[in-house]
Amino acid sequence: MAELRTDLPGSILFACTHNAIRSPMAEALMKLLHGRRVYVQSAGVRAEPIDPFAIAALDEIGVDLSRHRAKNFEDLEDDYFDLVISLSPEAQHKAVELTRNSSCEIEFWPTMDPSLIEGSRELRLEAYRALRDQLRQRLQRRFPHAGGPVMV
C-alpha cells in the first residue's frame, strides 16, 4: 500500500469544513501517536464549536478533546506546513489555495461527516466512534510509530 512511509513530516495541518469534528479528532490522534515529534494543528474553512460527540468518542480512548478551540485557516499562527491533510472536499479546495505558493504536500482523505447521522444518541455516537477508528487506523498506516504501533 502506498500509504506506508517511515518518514515523518515536521509539521502537519489537518483541515475540514468546521474544525469541530474530523480535523480536531485527527489532530488529537496524531498527537497521541507521535507526541511532540511532529508539530500538528487543525483548522476549518469555517470555525464552529467542538462537537460534544467528538469529545465523547475520544474520551472513550482516554483522549481529552474538551479544550479544543476551533479555528479557521485565517486564525492559524503559521501558514506553512510540510503536509496538509484535507478531510472534506471544501477543505481540500482551501488547502490548495493555502499552499499555492509553497512546496507543501497535500493529501485528500475523504472522510464521512458523522454529524449527518440521525437517530438515537447511541446510533449517532457509533458514527463518531467509526470515524475515530477510521482516522486512527489511517494515521497508524501513514505515520507508523518507530517503535511499532502504540494505538490499538
Q: How far apart are CA 83 and CA 116, in angstroms?
A: 28
Whether 146 has a pLDDT exceeding 80, the answer reads no
Residue position matching grid coordinates 518507530 = 146
Whether 152 has a pLDDT exceeding 70, the answer reads no
| Residue 43 or 78, more confident | 43
pTM (two decimals): 0.90
C-alpha cell at 138: 489511517
| Residue 149 or 51, more confident | 51
Give long-range contacts, CB 8 A cutoff, 24+ apart: 109-117. Answer: 109/85, 109/138, 111/16, 111/22, 111/87, 111/135, 113/17, 113/21, 113/22, 113/88, 114/21, 114/53, 115/21, 115/51, 115/53
How would you write 98-110 as a 3-class SS string?
Answer: HCCCCCCEEEECC
Q: How far apart are CA 79 and CA 55, in angstroms?
A: 26
Q: Identity (one letter) of the amino acid at 19? A: N
Cβ of 35: how many Cβ atoms within 10 Å? Answer: 11
Q: H-helix or E-strand containing 44?
A: strand 39-44
Which domains does the chain carry? 11-142 (3.40.50.2300)
Instruction: Tell me the average pLDDT of the chain.
Output: 91
Q: What is the pLDDT of residues 85-143, one digit of tens each?
A: 999 999 999 999 888 888 899 999 999 999 999 999 999 999 999 999 999 999 999 99
Cβ of 16: how many Cβ atoms within 10 Å? Answer: 27
C-alpha cell at 6: 517511515
